[in-house]
Structure 1
Amino acid sequence: MGLIDSLAGRYGDRVRFFTIYTQEAHPSGARQRFLRNPSGLADRERAAAELARQMRLSMPILLDSPRNSVARRYDALPSRLYVVDAQGRIAFKGATPPGGIDAPGAVRALDALVQRDESRRAGLIVGTPTPQR
């Protein structure tokens, strides 16, 4: 999660970062060291806590429902990176590996949202005015 940690270090004072645990990306039997797929919410909580420990995650982890509704809605597997604005609109959707996540695209989206937010707080108008008829 090096990219996420890097982005959180750069924007963490202005942007909230979190991980959504949907389902085990590398269930037991795969080549990686991870866990079996959780069967219920309590099992999912334990798996997310173990993932946080193994990966040394410092950001909060939110849990998807046992039916993986967030993962299905946002096409979250394999790993995805989303930048969502304060109104809940998707400003950036990262690419699917093996091409990797588009780090420069995430940075551009975060920069634009932070700049827009700072401009609003300063009382500046952001955007293109709509002509009056």
Structure 2
Amino acid sequence: MEFLDLSVKLLMLLTIVFTPVYCVYKSYSYLKLYLISASLISLAIISGAYWPHFYTGMRLDLLGYDPLGFSECERLKKVAPEMREIATQLYWSNMGVGWPLKALIWMVILLPYPSIVWLFKFSYRKLMNKFCAKNT
């Protein structure tokens, strides 16, 4: 289970980091770069924000936890005695800021990233043209 969680998170991180770099490497126009990168980054952010919630729910289902029970005893009825504390901790770990708000916050932070990568490429190209023109 932990391998699945780690591999999904790594795939989302690689998608976020390397999509704009790949588009810049292929010399896409700014509009094409931003449309491709922003859509893939948004998809990765939404998936990344929802994944912990989904993963916790999946683990609780495997433990036999019933989140619809009215009391803690009803919720833990089908859980093995040695796993009850873990199930309770997992249930309460889903409380707090919801995944849609997390996704929105990360989108505000990460959606300028393709523009920054494009600006680095633009600056690099200008500097190379300037220095190459002096040497010839």
- Fold in common (TM above 0.5): no
Shorter chain as denominator, the TM-score bin is under 0.3
- For normalisation by structure 1, the TM-score amounts to 0.26
- Structure with the greater alpha carbon radius of gyration: 2
- Structure (1/2) with the larger strand percentage: 1
- Structure (1/2) with the larger helix percentage: 2
